[in-house]
Chain A
Amino acid sequence: MSVEAIATALIAAAILTSMPLMLAAVGEAIAERAGLLNLGIEGSMLCAGFASFWLTLKTDSVTLGLLIGAAVGLAIGLVFGTLATVLNANQVVLGLGVTLAGTGGTAFLFREVYGSDQPLLSGGPGRPFEGWFDWLPVIGPAIGDQRWFVFVAWFMVLAGHLFLVRTPSGLQLRAAGESPFGLEAVGGNVTMVRIGAAAIGGVFYGFGGAALAVVELGFFSPGSTAGAGFLAVALAMLGRLSPLRVALFTLAFGLLTGLDIGLQIAGVDARPEFLRMLPYAGIVIGLVALGRGVRMPRALGQAYGGISSRR
Chain B
Amino acid sequence: MNPQSLCSNKPATWWRALVPFCLLASGMGLAPNFGSAEETTVDRVAIVTPASRTNQGWDQQGVDNLVEVGETLDIEVEVVEDAGYDDITPILNDLASDGTDLIVCHASGYQTVCPEFAQESGIPVVVIENPGAVMDDLIADIETQAQEASFLAGVVAGLETRSGRVAVVVSGEPPTWNYMTVGFAEGLHSVNPEATLIYQVIGEAAYDDAPNAKRVTESAIAAGADVVFGMGDGASFGMIQAINEHNQDLEPEEQVWFIDVIGDKSGSDAGQHLLTSVLFDYRGAYTELIQQLREGSFGEIHTMNLENDGVRLLPFAAFADPDTVETVDAVRVQIVDGDIVVSAIGDADGLRERLDELFPH
Chain A residues in contact with chain B, CB under 8 A? 1, 5-6, 8-10, 13, 17, 107, 111, 115-120, 122-124, 212, 216-219, 221-224, 226, 257-258, 261-262, 264-265, 267, 272-273, 276
Chain B 179-206: CB-based contact to A (< 8 A → 1; otherwise 0): 0000000000000000000111101100
The residues of A that contact B209 with a CB separation of less than 8 Å are 226
The answer for the CA separation of A219 and B165 in the assembled complex, in Å, is 27
Stretch at the interface among B26-34, B235-243, B316-324: B235-243
The answer for the CA separation of A267 and B355 in the assembled complex, in Å, is 11
The residues of B that contact A216 with a CB separation of less than 8 Å are 211, 214
Partner of A120, one of B198, B201, B216, B237: B237
Partner of B204, one of A117, A221, A276: A276
B139 touches A (CB below 8 Å) = no
The residues of B that contact A223 with a CB separation of less than 8 Å are 208
Within 8 A of A (CB), among B26-76: 52-54, 56, 60
Inter-chain contact B269/A224, CB cutoff 8 Å:
no
Partner of A124, one of B173, B245, B361: B245
Inter-chain contact B219/A13, CB cutoff 8 Å:
yes
The answer for the CA separation of A6 and B52 in the assembled complex, in Å, is 34
The answer for the CA separation of A124 and B224 in the assembled complex, in Å, is 23
The answer for the CA separation of A235 and B223 in the assembled complex, in Å, is 30
Q: List 27 A-B contacts (CB under 8 A).
A: A5-B222, A6-B219, A9-B222, A17-B215, A116-B54, A118-B54, A118-B56, A118-B237, A118-B269, A119-B269, A120-B240, A120-B241, A120-B269, A120-B270, A122-B248, A212-B211, A217-B238, A218-B244, A221-B237, A223-B208, A257-B212, A257-B215, A258-B219, A264-B200, A264-B201, A267-B361, A272-B201
B158 touches A (CB below 8 Å) = no
Ranked nearest first, the 7 interchain pairs of A and B with the lowest CB-CB distance are A9-B222, A1-B224, A272-B201, A120-B269, A116-B54, A267-B361, A218-B241
The residues of B that contact A218 with a CB separation of less than 8 Å are 241, 244-245
Inter-chain contact B201/A219, CB cutoff 8 Å:
no
The residues of A that contact B52 with a CB separation of less than 8 Å are 107, 222
The residues of B that contact A273 with a CB separation of less than 8 Å are 203-204
The residues of A that contact B165 with a CB separation of less than 8 Å are 1
The residues of B that contact A1 with a CB separation of less than 8 Å are 165, 222-224
Q: A221-B237, A272-B204 are in contact. List 19 more A-B contacts (CB 8 A).
A: A1-B224, A9-B219, A17-B211, A116-B56, A118-B54, A118-B269, A118-B270, A123-B248, A217-B211, A219-B210, A221-B208, A222-B52, A224-B208, A226-B211, A226-B212, A264-B199, A265-B219, A265-B220, A267-B361
Contact A265 to B200, CB < 8 A, known contacts A120-B270, A216-B211, A217-B214: yes
Closest approach, in angstroms, between the C-beta of B236 and any C-beta of chain A?
Answer: 9
B2 touches A (CB below 8 Å) = no
The answer for the CA separation of A276 and B221 in the assembled complex, in Å, is 20
The answer for the CA separation of A120 and B53 in the assembled complex, in Å, is 18
The residues of A that contact B240 with a CB separation of less than 8 Å are 120
Inter-chain contact A219/B200, CB cutoff 8 Å:
no
The answer for the CA separation of A116 and B234 in the assembled complex, in Å, is 12
Chain B residues in contact with chain A, CB under 8 A? 52-54, 56, 60, 165, 173, 198-201, 203-204, 208-212, 214-216, 218-224, 234, 237-238, 240-241, 244-245, 248, 268-270, 361
The residues of A that contact B212 with a CB separation of less than 8 Å are 226, 257
Closest approach, in angstroms, between the C-beta of A107 and any C-beta of chain B?
Answer: 8
The answer for the CA separation of A214 and B66 in the assembled complex, in Å, is 34
The answer for the CA separation of A265 and B216 in the assembled complex, in Å, is 10
Inter-chain contact A221/B219, CB cutoff 8 Å:
no
The answer for the CA separation of A143 and B131 in the assembled complex, in Å, is 52
Partner of A276, one of B203, B222, B268: B203
The residues of A that contact B208 with a CB separation of less than 8 Å are 221, 223-224, 226
The residues of A that contact B203 with a CB separation of less than 8 Å are 272-273, 276
The residues of B that contact A17 with a CB separation of less than 8 Å are 211, 215
The answer for the CA separation of A20 and B201 in the assembled complex, in Å, is 23
Closest approach, in angstroms, between the C-beta of A249 and any C-beta of chain B?
Answer: 19
Inter-chain contact A258/B248, CB cutoff 8 Å:
no
The answer for the CA separation of A1 and B199 in the assembled complex, in Å, is 16
The residues of A that contact B221 with a CB separation of less than 8 Å are 9
The answer for the CA separation of A267 and B360 in the assembled complex, in Å, is 10
Closest approach, in angstroms, between the C-beta of A268 and any C-beta of chain B?
Answer: 9
The answer for the CA separation of A221 and B208 in the assembled complex, in Å, is 9
Closest approach, in angstroms, between the C-beta of A51 and any C-beta of chain B?
Answer: 18
The residues of A that contact B211 with a CB separation of less than 8 Å are 17, 212, 216-217, 224, 226
Inter-chain contact A10/B219, CB cutoff 8 Å:
yes
The residues of B that contact A262 with a CB separation of less than 8 Å are 219
The answer for the CA separation of A1 and B223 in the assembled complex, in Å, is 5
The answer for the CA separation of A226 and B241 in the assembled complex, in Å, is 17
The answer for the CA separation of A10 and B215 in the assembled complex, in Å, is 8
Inter-chain contact B216/A111, CB cutoff 8 Å:
no
Closest approach, in angstroms, between the C-beta of B172 and any C-beta of chain A?
Answer: 9
The answer for the CA separation of A119 and B237 in the assembled complex, in Å, is 10
Contact A261 to B56, CB < 8 A, known contacts A1-B224, A226-B211: no
Closest residue of chain A to B60, judged by CB?
A: A116
The residues of A that contact B173 with a CB separation of less than 8 Å are 272
Inter-chain contact A258/B214, CB cutoff 8 Å:
no
Inter-chain contact B223/A6, CB cutoff 8 Å:
yes
Closest approach, in angstroms, between the C-beta of B319 and any C-beta of chain A?
Answer: 19
The residues of A that contact B237 with a CB separation of less than 8 Å are 118, 120, 219, 221
